[in-house]
Structure 1
Amino acid sequence: MTITTDLWHHFGRTRAERDRTVPRAFHWLWSQEGGPGSEILGDLTGKVIGDLGAGAARQAAHLATHQAPARVDAVDASPAQHAMATDLFGHLAPRLRIVRSDAVKHLRTTAGTYDVLYSVFGAVDFTDPRELLPVVAAGLRPGGLLAFSTLAHYLGGAPAESDVVPADIPAKTPDGEATTMRRWVLQEHLWTKVLDESGFTQIDVNVLPPAVEGPRSAATLLVTAVCQA
Protein backbone atom coordinates (compact mmCIF):
# COMPACT_ATOMS: atom_id res chain seq x y z
CA MET A 1 0.00 0.00 0.00
CA THR A 2 1.28 3.46 -0.93
CA ILE A 3 1.28 5.95 1.94
CA THR A 4 0.83 9.54 0.81
CA THR A 5 2.13 12.38 2.96
CA ASP A 6 -0.71 14.61 4.14
CA LEU A 7 0.27 18.00 2.74
CA TRP A 8 -2.87 19.58 4.22
CA HIS A 9 -1.95 18.72 7.80
CA HIS A 10 -1.37 22.34 8.86
CA PHE A 11 -4.05 24.05 6.77
CA GLY A 12 -6.77 25.77 8.80
CA ARG A 13 -5.50 24.50 12.14
CA THR A 14 -4.99 27.92 13.71
CA ARG A 15 -8.50 29.03 12.74
CA ALA A 16 -10.03 25.82 14.07
CA GLU A 17 -8.50 26.51 17.48
CA ARG A 18 -10.28 29.86 17.76
CA ASP A 19 -13.38 29.52 15.57
CA ARG A 20 -15.72 26.55 15.83
CA THR A 21 -18.80 28.29 14.47
CA VAL A 22 -20.77 27.47 11.36
CA PRO A 23 -20.14 30.32 8.89
CA ARG A 24 -23.08 32.66 8.42
CA ALA A 25 -22.18 33.26 4.77
CA PHE A 26 -20.93 31.24 1.79
CA HIS A 27 -18.02 32.79 -0.13
CA TRP A 28 -16.50 31.90 -3.49
CA LEU A 29 -13.78 34.57 -3.56
CA TRP A 30 -10.14 33.76 -2.81
CA SER A 31 -10.22 36.23 0.08
CA GLN A 32 -13.39 34.65 1.49
CA GLU A 33 -14.91 38.10 1.76
CA GLY A 34 -17.79 39.62 -0.19
CA GLY A 35 -18.88 38.53 -3.63
CA PRO A 36 -21.69 36.14 -4.57
CA GLY A 37 -22.83 33.42 -2.19
CA SER A 38 -24.72 30.15 -2.22
CA GLU A 39 -27.40 31.55 -4.53
CA ILE A 40 -25.08 30.48 -7.36
CA LEU A 41 -26.08 26.90 -6.52
CA GLY A 42 -29.82 27.57 -6.91
CA ASP A 43 -32.57 26.21 -4.68
CA LEU A 44 -31.01 23.37 -2.68
CA THR A 45 -34.20 22.22 -0.95
CA GLY A 46 -34.27 18.43 -0.80
CA LYS A 47 -31.16 18.07 -2.96
CA VAL A 48 -28.02 15.96 -2.52
CA ILE A 49 -24.92 18.15 -2.58
CA GLY A 50 -21.22 17.31 -2.70
CA ASP A 51 -18.29 19.53 -1.66
CA LEU A 52 -15.14 18.30 -3.42
CA GLY A 53 -12.03 19.07 -1.42
CA ALA A 54 -14.06 20.32 1.52
CA GLY A 55 -11.18 20.84 3.96
CA ALA A 56 -12.63 21.64 7.38
CA ALA A 57 -16.12 21.54 5.81
CA ARG A 58 -17.04 25.11 6.71
CA GLN A 59 -18.83 25.79 3.42
CA ALA A 60 -20.62 22.44 3.62
CA ALA A 61 -21.64 23.14 7.21
CA HIS A 62 -23.10 26.48 6.12
CA LEU A 63 -25.25 24.80 3.47
CA ALA A 64 -26.38 22.03 5.82
CA THR A 65 -27.36 24.59 8.44
CA HIS A 66 -28.75 27.53 6.46
CA GLN A 67 -30.26 25.76 3.45
CA ALA A 68 -32.58 22.74 3.38
CA PRO A 69 -30.71 20.05 1.41
CA ALA A 70 -31.41 16.37 1.84
CA ARG A 71 -27.68 15.87 2.48
CA VAL A 72 -24.32 17.55 1.99
CA ASP A 73 -21.28 15.30 1.53
CA ALA A 74 -18.03 17.03 2.51
CA VAL A 75 -15.36 15.02 0.66
CA ASP A 76 -11.65 15.39 1.37
CA ALA A 77 -8.70 13.00 1.09
CA SER A 78 -6.64 14.55 3.90
CA PRO A 79 -6.74 12.63 7.20
CA ALA A 80 -6.01 15.87 9.08
CA GLN A 81 -8.77 17.80 7.34
CA HIS A 82 -11.23 14.95 7.82
CA ALA A 83 -10.45 14.81 11.53
CA MET A 84 -10.79 18.59 11.84
CA ALA A 85 -14.11 18.64 9.99
CA THR A 86 -15.45 15.80 12.13
CA ASP A 87 -14.42 17.58 15.31
CA LEU A 88 -15.93 20.90 14.22
CA PHE A 89 -19.11 19.82 12.50
CA GLY A 90 -19.71 16.12 13.11
CA HIS A 91 -22.72 17.10 15.21
CA LEU A 92 -24.52 18.21 12.03
CA ALA A 93 -24.98 14.59 10.89
CA PRO A 94 -26.92 13.14 9.17
CA ARG A 95 -27.60 16.24 7.04
CA LEU A 96 -23.83 16.79 6.81
CA ARG A 97 -21.79 13.68 5.98
CA ILE A 98 -18.01 14.02 6.30
CA VAL A 99 -16.28 11.67 3.86
CA ARG A 100 -12.56 10.89 3.85
CA SER A 101 -11.78 10.05 0.24
CA ASP A 102 -10.02 11.27 -2.85
CA ALA A 103 -12.62 13.06 -4.97
CA VAL A 104 -12.03 10.90 -8.07
CA LYS A 105 -12.25 7.66 -6.09
CA HIS A 106 -15.40 8.82 -4.32
CA LEU A 107 -17.18 9.87 -7.50
CA ARG A 108 -16.37 6.59 -9.20
CA THR A 109 -18.51 4.85 -6.57
CA THR A 110 -21.37 7.37 -6.54
CA ALA A 111 -22.54 7.64 -10.15
CA GLY A 112 -25.76 9.58 -10.59
CA THR A 113 -25.94 10.53 -6.90
CA TYR A 114 -25.64 14.31 -6.81
CA ASP A 115 -27.87 17.19 -7.83
CA VAL A 116 -25.07 19.71 -7.20
CA LEU A 117 -21.30 19.36 -6.90
CA TYR A 118 -19.05 22.28 -6.01
CA SER A 119 -15.46 23.12 -5.15
CA VAL A 120 -14.18 26.28 -3.46
CA PHE A 121 -10.45 26.26 -4.28
CA GLY A 122 -10.69 22.55 -3.54
CA ALA A 123 -10.33 19.33 -5.51
CA VAL A 124 -10.77 21.07 -8.86
CA ASP A 125 -7.59 23.03 -8.18
CA PHE A 126 -5.49 20.06 -7.08
CA THR A 127 -6.62 17.24 -9.40
CA ASP A 128 -5.91 16.85 -13.10
CA PRO A 129 -9.14 18.22 -14.63
CA ARG A 130 -9.00 15.67 -17.44
CA GLU A 131 -9.28 12.98 -14.78
CA LEU A 132 -11.65 14.72 -12.38
CA LEU A 133 -14.24 16.45 -14.56
CA PRO A 134 -15.47 13.33 -16.42
CA VAL A 135 -16.17 11.56 -13.10
CA VAL A 136 -17.83 14.74 -11.79
CA ALA A 137 -20.18 14.54 -14.78
CA ALA A 138 -20.82 10.87 -13.98
CA GLY A 139 -21.49 11.69 -10.33
CA LEU A 140 -24.18 14.22 -11.22
CA ARG A 141 -27.73 13.39 -12.15
CA PRO A 142 -28.76 14.55 -15.65
CA GLY A 143 -29.15 18.31 -15.54
CA GLY A 144 -27.09 18.53 -12.35
CA LEU A 145 -24.94 21.56 -11.62
CA LEU A 146 -21.19 21.86 -11.14
CA ALA A 147 -19.88 25.12 -9.67
CA PHE A 148 -16.33 25.90 -8.66
CA SER A 149 -14.06 28.79 -7.84
CA THR A 150 -10.39 28.71 -8.77
CA LEU A 151 -7.53 31.15 -9.20
CA ALA A 152 -7.76 33.42 -12.25
CA HIS A 153 -3.97 33.83 -12.07
CA TYR A 154 -1.14 32.85 -9.78
CA LEU A 155 -0.65 34.56 -6.44
CA GLY A 156 1.77 37.36 -7.11
CA GLY A 157 0.21 38.08 -10.50
CA ALA A 158 1.79 35.59 -12.93
CA PRO A 159 -0.69 34.66 -15.66
CA ALA A 160 -2.65 31.43 -15.73
CA GLU A 161 -1.38 28.55 -17.87
CA SER A 162 -2.13 28.45 -21.59
CA ASP A 163 -2.16 24.63 -21.56
CA VAL A 164 -3.67 22.05 -19.20
CA VAL A 165 -0.56 21.65 -17.07
CA PRO A 166 0.00 22.01 -13.32
CA ALA A 167 2.55 24.04 -11.44
CA ASP A 168 4.43 23.00 -8.33
CA ILE A 169 3.50 25.26 -5.42
CA PRO A 170 4.99 25.39 -1.91
CA ALA A 171 3.64 23.02 0.74
CA LYS A 172 4.71 21.54 4.08
CA THR A 173 4.83 17.99 5.34
CA PRO A 174 3.22 17.24 8.74
CA ASP A 175 6.64 17.63 10.42
CA GLY A 176 7.14 21.05 8.80
CA GLU A 177 9.58 20.18 6.00
CA ALA A 178 9.24 22.21 2.80
CA THR A 179 7.93 20.40 -0.26
CA THR A 180 5.59 21.07 -3.19
CA MET A 181 2.19 20.03 -4.46
CA ARG A 182 0.56 20.33 -7.88
CA ARG A 183 -2.05 23.00 -8.61
CA TRP A 184 -3.90 23.69 -11.88
CA VAL A 185 -4.24 27.42 -12.62
CA LEU A 186 -5.71 27.62 -16.12
CA GLN A 187 -6.94 30.28 -18.49
CA GLU A 188 -10.71 30.62 -18.92
CA HIS A 189 -10.90 29.02 -22.36
CA LEU A 190 -9.11 25.91 -21.12
CA TRP A 191 -11.66 25.33 -18.36
CA THR A 192 -14.41 25.74 -20.96
CA LYS A 193 -12.69 23.27 -23.31
CA VAL A 194 -12.13 20.56 -20.68
CA LEU A 195 -15.67 20.94 -19.31
CA ASP A 196 -17.12 20.60 -22.81
CA GLU A 197 -15.01 17.51 -23.48
CA SER A 198 -16.15 16.03 -20.13
CA GLY A 199 -19.86 16.19 -20.93
CA PHE A 200 -20.95 19.59 -19.66
CA THR A 201 -23.06 22.27 -21.30
CA GLN A 202 -24.25 25.79 -20.39
CA ILE A 203 -20.68 26.60 -19.31
CA ASP A 204 -20.31 30.04 -17.76
CA VAL A 205 -17.02 31.56 -16.56
CA ASN A 206 -16.87 34.85 -14.66
CA VAL A 207 -13.81 36.74 -13.41
CA LEU A 208 -14.38 38.21 -9.95
CA PRO A 209 -11.89 40.86 -8.77
CA PRO A 210 -10.34 40.51 -5.33
CA ALA A 211 -12.36 42.01 -2.48
CA VAL A 212 -9.15 43.29 -0.90
CA GLU A 213 -5.75 44.08 -2.41
CA GLY A 214 -2.52 42.66 -1.05
CA PRO A 215 0.60 40.69 -1.96
CA ARG A 216 -1.35 37.39 -1.92
CA SER A 217 -4.60 38.71 -3.34
CA ALA A 218 -5.97 37.22 -6.54
CA ALA A 219 -8.91 37.44 -8.88
CA THR A 220 -11.23 34.45 -8.83
CA LEU A 221 -12.70 32.46 -11.69
CA LEU A 222 -16.24 31.38 -10.83
CA VAL A 223 -17.33 28.61 -13.17
CA THR A 224 -20.71 26.91 -13.53
CA ALA A 225 -21.71 24.14 -15.89
CA VAL A 226 -24.61 21.73 -16.31
CA CYS A 227 -24.31 17.98 -16.81
CA GLN A 228 -25.84 16.95 -20.11
CA ALA A 229 -28.93 14.76 -19.88
Structure 2
Amino acid sequence: MTTTPPDLWHHYGRARSDSDRAVPPVFSWVWAQDAGPGAEVLGDVTGLVVADLGAGVARHAAHLVARHAPARVDAVDSSAAQHARARDLYGHLAPRLRAVHADAVDHLDAHPGSYDVLCSVFGSLDFTDPRRLLPAAARALRPGGLLVASTLGHYLGGAPAETDVRHAEVPVRTPDGTAATMRRWVLQEAVWTELLDGAGFTRIGVDRLPPAALGPRSADTLLLRARR
Protein backbone atom coordinates (compact mmCIF):
# COMPACT_ATOMS: atom_id res chain seq x y z
CA MET A 1 0.00 0.00 0.00
CA THR A 2 1.37 3.43 -0.99
CA THR A 3 0.45 6.82 0.41
CA THR A 4 0.63 10.22 -1.23
CA PRO A 5 3.36 12.36 0.35
CA PRO A 6 2.20 15.62 1.94
CA ASP A 7 2.11 18.71 -0.28
CA LEU A 8 5.00 20.73 1.13
CA TRP A 9 4.03 23.75 -1.01
CA HIS A 10 0.44 23.79 0.26
CA HIS A 11 0.85 27.03 2.21
CA TYR A 12 3.40 28.79 -0.01
CA GLY A 13 2.16 31.96 -1.71
CA ARG A 14 -1.45 31.56 -0.58
CA ALA A 15 -1.86 35.13 0.68
CA ARG A 16 -0.48 36.66 -2.50
CA SER A 17 -2.65 34.44 -4.68
CA ASP A 18 -5.71 35.70 -2.82
CA SER A 19 -4.79 39.37 -3.27
CA ASP A 20 -2.87 39.56 -6.56
CA ARG A 21 -4.56 37.93 -9.55
CA ALA A 22 -2.94 39.99 -12.29
CA VAL A 23 -0.63 38.71 -14.99
CA PRO A 24 2.80 40.06 -13.99
CA PRO A 25 3.91 42.94 -16.22
CA VAL A 26 7.55 41.82 -16.09
CA PHE A 27 9.53 38.57 -16.00
CA SER A 28 12.45 38.57 -13.57
CA TRP A 29 15.07 35.90 -12.92
CA VAL A 30 16.62 37.32 -9.72
CA TRP A 31 15.83 36.10 -6.22
CA ALA A 32 14.11 39.31 -5.09
CA GLN A 33 12.09 39.59 -8.33
CA ASP A 34 12.90 43.28 -8.45
CA ALA A 35 15.60 43.82 -11.08
CA GLY A 36 17.91 42.17 -13.56
CA PRO A 37 17.30 40.68 -16.99
CA GLY A 38 13.87 39.57 -18.08
CA ALA A 39 12.22 37.37 -20.68
CA GLU A 40 14.66 38.55 -23.33
CA VAL A 41 17.10 35.98 -21.95
CA LEU A 42 14.91 33.32 -23.59
CA GLY A 43 15.24 34.97 -26.99
CA ASP A 44 12.30 35.16 -29.37
CA VAL A 45 9.80 32.53 -28.22
CA THR A 46 7.28 33.30 -30.95
CA GLY A 47 5.64 30.06 -32.02
CA LEU A 48 7.76 27.94 -29.68
CA VAL A 49 6.70 25.33 -27.11
CA VAL A 50 7.97 26.20 -23.63
CA ALA A 51 7.85 24.49 -20.23
CA ASP A 52 8.30 26.25 -16.90
CA LEU A 53 9.57 23.64 -14.44
CA GLY A 54 8.44 24.14 -10.87
CA ALA A 55 6.17 26.93 -12.05
CA GLY A 56 4.27 27.40 -8.79
CA VAL A 57 1.11 29.37 -9.54
CA ALA A 58 2.41 30.01 -13.09
CA ARG A 59 3.08 33.74 -12.85
CA HIS A 60 6.14 33.59 -15.13
CA ALA A 61 4.33 31.30 -17.55
CA ALA A 62 1.36 33.66 -17.63
CA HIS A 63 3.64 36.59 -18.45
CA LEU A 64 5.14 34.71 -21.39
CA VAL A 65 1.74 33.76 -22.77
CA ALA A 66 0.17 37.20 -22.32
CA ARG A 67 3.06 39.37 -23.48
CA HIS A 68 5.02 37.22 -25.91
CA ALA A 69 3.79 34.83 -28.55
CA PRO A 70 4.70 31.22 -27.73
CA ALA A 71 2.66 28.43 -29.22
CA ARG A 72 2.18 27.05 -25.70
CA VAL A 73 3.68 27.24 -22.23
CA ASP A 74 3.33 24.24 -19.92
CA ALA A 75 3.48 25.34 -16.28
CA VAL A 76 4.65 22.14 -14.56
CA ASP A 77 4.41 21.76 -10.78
CA SER A 78 4.17 18.77 -8.47
CA SER A 79 2.15 20.61 -5.80
CA ALA A 80 -1.60 20.03 -5.98
CA ALA A 81 -2.23 23.34 -4.22
CA GLN A 82 0.00 25.36 -6.56
CA HIS A 83 -1.51 23.64 -9.60
CA ALA A 84 -5.03 24.48 -8.42
CA ARG A 85 -4.08 28.13 -7.84
CA ALA A 86 -2.46 28.33 -11.28
CA ARG A 87 -5.68 27.11 -12.91
CA ASP A 88 -7.75 29.51 -10.83
CA LEU A 89 -5.55 32.53 -11.56
CA TYR A 90 -4.73 31.97 -15.21
CA GLY A 91 -7.20 29.45 -16.57
CA HIS A 92 -8.44 32.19 -18.90
CA LEU A 93 -5.12 31.94 -20.77
CA ALA A 94 -5.74 28.31 -21.80
CA PRO A 95 -5.01 26.57 -24.10
CA ARG A 96 -1.79 28.50 -24.73
CA LEU A 97 -1.07 28.27 -20.99
CA ARG A 98 -1.44 24.72 -19.73
CA ALA A 99 -1.13 24.01 -15.99
CA VAL A 100 0.39 20.55 -15.58
CA HIS A 101 0.25 18.75 -12.22
CA ALA A 102 3.28 16.46 -12.38
CA ASP A 103 6.75 15.78 -11.08
CA ALA A 104 9.16 17.59 -13.41
CA VAL A 105 11.34 14.55 -14.16
CA ASP A 106 8.31 12.33 -14.80
CA HIS A 107 6.79 14.92 -17.12
CA LEU A 108 10.01 15.45 -19.08
CA ASP A 109 10.60 11.73 -19.42
CA ALA A 110 7.09 11.32 -20.81
CA HIS A 111 7.67 14.02 -23.46
CA PRO A 112 11.00 13.42 -25.22
CA GLY A 113 11.87 15.93 -27.92
CA SER A 114 8.77 18.01 -27.19
CA TYR A 115 10.10 21.42 -26.13
CA ASP A 116 11.99 24.28 -27.70
CA VAL A 117 12.64 26.05 -24.40
CA LEU A 118 12.77 24.95 -20.77
CA CYS A 119 12.94 27.48 -17.95
CA SER A 120 13.01 27.36 -14.16
CA VAL A 121 12.90 30.38 -11.86
CA PHE A 122 13.96 29.04 -8.45
CA GLY A 123 11.80 26.06 -9.32
CA SER A 124 12.49 22.43 -10.10
CA LEU A 125 16.20 23.03 -10.59
CA ASP A 126 16.43 24.00 -6.92
CA PHE A 127 14.33 21.18 -5.48
CA THR A 128 15.09 18.14 -7.66
CA ASP A 129 18.31 16.15 -7.75
CA PRO A 130 20.06 17.69 -10.78
CA ARG A 131 21.57 14.31 -11.66
CA ARG A 132 18.00 13.24 -12.50
CA LEU A 133 16.52 16.51 -13.74
CA LEU A 134 19.18 17.72 -16.17
CA PRO A 135 19.40 14.51 -18.25
CA ALA A 136 15.59 14.45 -18.41
CA ALA A 137 15.60 18.08 -19.53
CA ALA A 138 18.13 17.33 -22.27
CA ARG A 139 15.97 14.46 -23.55
CA ALA A 140 12.83 16.62 -23.56
CA LEU A 141 14.41 19.41 -25.61
CA ARG A 142 14.48 19.40 -29.37
CA PRO A 143 17.92 19.67 -31.03
CA GLY A 144 19.22 23.18 -30.44
CA GLY A 145 16.70 23.73 -27.66
CA LEU A 146 17.43 26.14 -24.82
CA LEU A 147 17.49 25.64 -21.04
CA VAL A 148 17.53 28.74 -18.83
CA ALA A 149 17.28 28.57 -15.05
CA SER A 150 17.91 30.77 -12.05
CA THR A 151 19.04 29.38 -8.73
CA LEU A 152 20.62 30.63 -5.51
CA GLY A 153 24.27 31.65 -5.75
CA HIS A 154 24.73 30.97 -2.04
CA TYR A 155 22.59 30.05 0.93
CA LEU A 156 20.22 32.63 2.36
CA GLY A 157 22.15 34.13 5.25
CA GLY A 158 25.42 34.09 3.31
CA ALA A 159 26.88 30.58 3.68
CA PRO A 160 28.70 29.55 0.48
CA ALA A 161 27.20 27.23 -2.09
CA GLU A 162 28.24 23.58 -2.16
CA THR A 163 31.37 22.46 -3.99
CA ASP A 164 29.83 19.04 -4.70
CA VAL A 165 26.33 17.75 -5.51
CA ARG A 166 24.95 17.93 -1.98
CA HIS A 167 21.54 19.09 -0.84
CA ALA A 168 20.39 20.99 2.22
CA GLU A 169 17.29 20.26 4.28
CA VAL A 170 14.92 23.25 4.26
CA PRO A 171 12.28 23.58 7.00
CA VAL A 172 8.66 23.63 5.78
CA ARG A 173 5.17 22.78 7.02
CA THR A 174 2.79 20.10 5.84
CA PRO A 175 -0.83 21.09 5.08
CA ASP A 176 -1.84 20.31 8.67
CA GLY A 177 0.99 22.46 10.06
CA THR A 178 3.39 19.67 11.03
CA ALA A 179 7.08 20.57 10.78
CA ALA A 180 8.89 18.87 7.90
CA THR A 181 11.85 19.39 5.57
CA MET A 182 12.44 19.40 1.83
CA ARG A 183 15.66 19.12 -0.14
CA ARG A 184 17.25 22.09 -1.89
CA TRP A 185 20.37 22.11 -4.06
CA VAL A 186 22.55 25.25 -3.73
CA LEU A 187 25.64 24.62 -5.84
CA GLN A 188 28.64 26.59 -7.06
CA GLU A 189 28.97 27.67 -10.68
CA ALA A 190 31.57 25.03 -11.52
CA VAL A 191 29.34 22.26 -10.18
CA TRP A 192 26.41 23.37 -12.32
CA THR A 193 28.65 23.61 -15.37
CA GLU A 194 29.93 20.07 -14.84
CA LEU A 195 26.39 18.74 -14.34
CA LEU A 196 25.10 20.44 -17.49
CA ASP A 197 28.02 19.15 -19.52
CA GLY A 198 27.52 15.64 -18.20
CA ALA A 199 23.84 15.75 -19.15
CA GLY A 200 24.72 16.49 -22.77
CA PHE A 201 24.29 20.27 -22.89
CA THR A 202 26.57 22.59 -24.86
CA ARG A 203 27.24 26.35 -25.02
CA ILE A 204 26.94 26.48 -21.24
CA GLY A 205 27.05 29.85 -19.51
CA VAL A 206 26.62 30.89 -15.89
CA ASP A 207 26.17 34.52 -14.82
CA ARG A 208 26.18 35.73 -11.22
CA LEU A 209 23.62 38.46 -10.60
CA PRO A 210 24.02 40.34 -7.30
CA PRO A 211 20.94 41.65 -5.47
CA ALA A 212 19.81 45.18 -6.17
CA ALA A 213 19.62 45.83 -2.41
CA LEU A 214 21.20 44.06 0.53
CA GLY A 215 19.08 42.62 3.34
CA PRO A 216 18.93 39.70 5.77
CA ARG A 217 17.51 37.36 3.09
CA SER A 218 19.08 38.87 -0.02
CA ALA A 219 21.08 36.56 -2.26
CA ASP A 220 23.09 36.38 -5.44
CA THR A 221 21.35 34.65 -8.33
CA LEU A 222 23.05 32.23 -10.68
CA LEU A 223 21.56 32.40 -14.17
CA LEU A 224 22.31 29.20 -16.08
CA ARG A 225 21.99 28.93 -19.86
CA ALA A 226 22.71 25.93 -22.05
CA ARG A 227 21.79 24.45 -25.42
CA ARG A 228 20.80 20.90 -26.27
Tell me whether 1:27 sits opposite 2:39 in the alignment: no
Tell me whether 1:210 sits opposite 2:211 in the alignment: yes
Aligned residue in 2 for 1:109: 110
Counterparts of 2:226 and 2:185, CA distance in 1: 18
Residues 37-68 of structure 1, C-alpha deviation per residue, up to 9 Å, x if partnerless? 00000000000000000000000000000000
Counterparts of 2:75 and 2:50, CA distance in 1: 9
* Secondary structure in 2 matching 1:15: helix
Tell me whether 1:55 sits opposite 2:56 in the alignment: yes
Q: For structure 2, list consecutive stretches of 5 or more residues without a partner in the other structure.
A: none
Shift of 1:212: 2.0
Counterparts of 2:55 and 2:213, CA distance in 1: 24
Aligned residue in 2 for 1:189: 190
Residues 116-175 of structure 1, C-alpha deviation per residue, up to 9 Å, x if partnerless? 000000000000000000010000000000000000000000000011010101111111
Shift of 1:211: 1.8
Counterparts of 1:3 and 1:66, CA distance in 2: 37
* Secondary structure in 1 matching 2:6: coil
Q: TM-score by structure 1 length? A: 0.98
Name segments (4+ residues, structure 1) moved above 4 Å: none
Aligned residue in 2 for 1:11: 12
* Secondary structure in 1 matching 2:139: helix
Tell me whether 1:133 sits opposite 2:125 in the alignment: no
Q: TM-score by structure 2 length? A: 0.99
Q: Percent identity?
A: 65
Aligned residue in 2 for 1:221: 222
Aligned residue in 2 for 1:123: 124
Counterparts of 2:178 and 2:212, CA distance in 1: 32
Shift of 1:176: 1.6
Counterparts of 1:171 and 1:219, CA distance in 2: 22
Shift of 1:105: 0.3
Residues 4-30 of structure 1, C-alpha deviation per residue, up to 9 Å, x if partnerless? 110000111010111000000000000
* Secondary structure in 1 matching 2:194: helix
Aligned residue in 2 for 1:70: 71
CA RMSD of aligned residues (A): 0.6
Tell me whether 1:37 sits opposite 2:38 in the alignment: yes
Residues 75-99 of structure 1, C-alpha deviation per residue, up to 9 Å, x if partnerless? 0000000001010001100110000
Counterparts of 1:221 and 1:178, CA distance in 2: 29
Counterparts of 2:212 and 2:13, CA distance in 1: 21
Q: For structure 1, list consecutive stretches of 5 or more residues without a partner in the other structure.
A: none
Number of aligned pairs?
227
Name the aligned partner's letter for residue 108 of structure 1.
D
